[in-house]
Amino acid sequence: MAKTFRVGLIGYKFMGRAHSNAWRQAPKFFNLKANIELHTLCGRDAAGVQAARAKLGWEHATTDWCDIVESPLIDIVDIATPTFAHAEMAIAALKNGKHVLCEKPLGRDLKECEAIFAAAKKAKGVHMVCHNYRRIPAIALAKRMLSEGTLGKLYHFRARYAQDRLADVEFPLDWRLQKETSGSGVHSDIGSHIVDLARYLVGEFTQVCGVVHTFVPERPRADLLAKGKRQLGKVTAPDSSAFIGWLENGVMANLEATRYALGRRNHIEIEINGSKGSLCFDFEDMNRLKYYNGDDPKDRQGFRDILVTQRDGIQPYVANWWPPGHGLGYEHTFVHAIADFVNACADGKSVHPTLEDGLKNQRVLTAVEKSSATGKWIKV
């Protein structure tokens, strides 16, 4: 009979909702190697977490995260809190032998990430950092094609994660814009996703050169706005970043993260060029992958607009959902991540992206920050 994993989730806001949904949905759409029990939800506000518990489908609620990481009833700890809390929670969970799924970015800085991964190395649990975008079907298909050498020798990797909400200078100063809570603001919040995709799809960074920047240095404090008061506070973390660099095997890289691109809601644009073809992706059209095959007959070459919704296992993940042309949405990326994670836990096998990927990601982020501070190229 199949094992049952009891899950404890810390955090019930945006990421908590997305993860809860994935825990509920994964067993409905995938044949998992273990059963899932949505055991305990944790949040700091007692009333809030109780309401969320019912709404999101959890059995129990607590305001003390130690109830989760220390409980012998819990098998899997899922950390969906703001960044500043990751290290303490993840390390405790790992020490307590839990399987750990942790939101990205893994920590606020290199030191935290190193400590987390050191704990992971000593622990027996399976671990994953939640770079959910790896499991967009189009991205998983791109990875498969790249692994098969479809693009030949690679020349360029280019990614831009652009949103627009900070273009409004009245957008409040929340935890994401403060160094103490977020680590590196937009650079690590969304920049880490495209660093992860570069590493996943192409390989490791060898050196980088770039800027982290704060376009709007002061914003209305979110905490005071909640009390009806408008008072400016200092933005202490970058609200944008851009860098060039090199990936292994001489691939030129160009990455940019910003929330100042009006009209770009969640635009994760990627282009990879190789000697045999090119691939393009844009999250705002997440069910599509564009592929140029240099070997197509010369009179009929062009980017193919692949709608990644084929049945029968032809394309990753999608066969578990709906017929061709019936696309998926944002939340499915978490369902796929959690389905793979649960199976890995059941098998006791490692599953990408591990906490080590989280650490390696931070090395790139930190190198860009150093480059920005010194005006120099930094080896990763």
Contact 197/139 with Cβ under 8 angstroms?
yes
Residue in 160, 187, 199, 360 binding a copy of itself, rule: CB under 8 A: 160
Residue in 95, 304, 352, 370 binding a copy of itself, rule: CB under 8 A: 304
The secondary structure of residue 184, as a DSSP letter, is S
Residue in 73, 275, 350, 379 binding a copy of itself, rule: CB under 8 A: 275
Under rule CB under 8 A, residue 344 binds a copy of itself: no
Residue in 86, 131, 264, 363 binding a copy of itself, rule: CB under 8 A: 264
Under rule CB under 8 A, residue 348 binds a copy of itself: no
In the bound complex, what is the minimum distance in angstroms from residue 81's beta carbon to a copy of itself?
Answer: 18
Residue in 1, 14, 226, 228 binding a copy of itself, rule: CB under 8 A: 14
CA atoms lying within 13 Å on the CB side of residue 312: 1
Spatial separation of the C-alpha atoms in residues 93 and 245, rounded to whole Å: 35
Spatial separation of the C-alpha atoms in residues 269 and 284, rounded to whole Å: 9
Enumerate residues 126-155 that contact a copy of itself by CB under 8 A.
141, 144-145, 155
CA atoms lying within 13 Å on the CB side of residue 31: 1
Q: Which is nearer to a copy of itself, 111 or 326 (CB)?
A: 326
Under rule CB under 8 A, residue 215 binds a copy of itself: yes
Residue in 105, 125, 277, 358 binding a copy of itself, rule: CB under 8 A: 277
| Beta-sheet strand order (sheet of 267-274) | 288-293, 277-282, 267-274, 154-162, 251-258, 240-247, 205-213, 378-379
Residue in 84, 114, 303, 380 binding a copy of itself, rule: CB under 8 A: 303
In the bound complex, what is the minimum distance in angstroms from residue 67's beta carbon to a copy of itself?
Answer: 24
Enumerate residues 319-338 that contact a copy of itself by CB under 8 A.
321-332
In the bound complex, what is the minimum distance in angstroms from residue 196's beta carbon to a copy of itself?
Answer: 17
Among the candidate windows 17-25, 68-76, 173-181, 226-234, which touches a copy of itself by CB under 8 A?
Answer: 17-25
Among the candidate windows 84-92, 116-124, 163-171, 173-181, which touches a copy of itself by CB under 8 A?
Answer: 163-171
Enumerate residues 22-81 that contact a copy of itself by CB under 8 A.
24-25, 28, 55-57
Name the H helices within 148-278.
179-182, 185-189, 191-201, 222-225
**Coil, strand or helix at 149:** coil
Q: What is the 3-state secondary structure (H, E, C) of 14-53?
A: HHHHHHHHHHHHHHHHCCCCEEEEEEEEECCCHHHHHHHH
Give the C-alpha distances (Å, rounded to integers) separating 66 from 23, 41, 94, 96, 372.
21, 12, 12, 10, 38
Q: How many residues does the chain have?
A: 380
Under rule CB under 8 A, residue 301 binds a copy of itself: yes
Under rule CB under 8 A, residue 184 binds a copy of itself: no
Q: Which is nearer to a copy of itself, 70 or 331 (CB)?
A: 331
Residue 306 structure tokens: 């692949």
Residue in 2, 46, 66, 314 binding a copy of itself, rule: CB under 8 A: 314
Q: Which is nearer to a copy of itself, 229 or 265 (CB)?
A: 265
Under rule CB under 8 A, residue 249 binds a copy of itself: no
In the bound complex, what is the minimum distance in angstroms from residue 122's beta carbon to a copy of itself?
Answer: 36
Spatial separation of the C-alpha atoms in residues 281 and 321, rounded to whole Å: 21
Contact 185/239 with Cβ under 8 angstroms?
yes
Under rule CB under 8 A, residue 373 binds a copy of itself: no
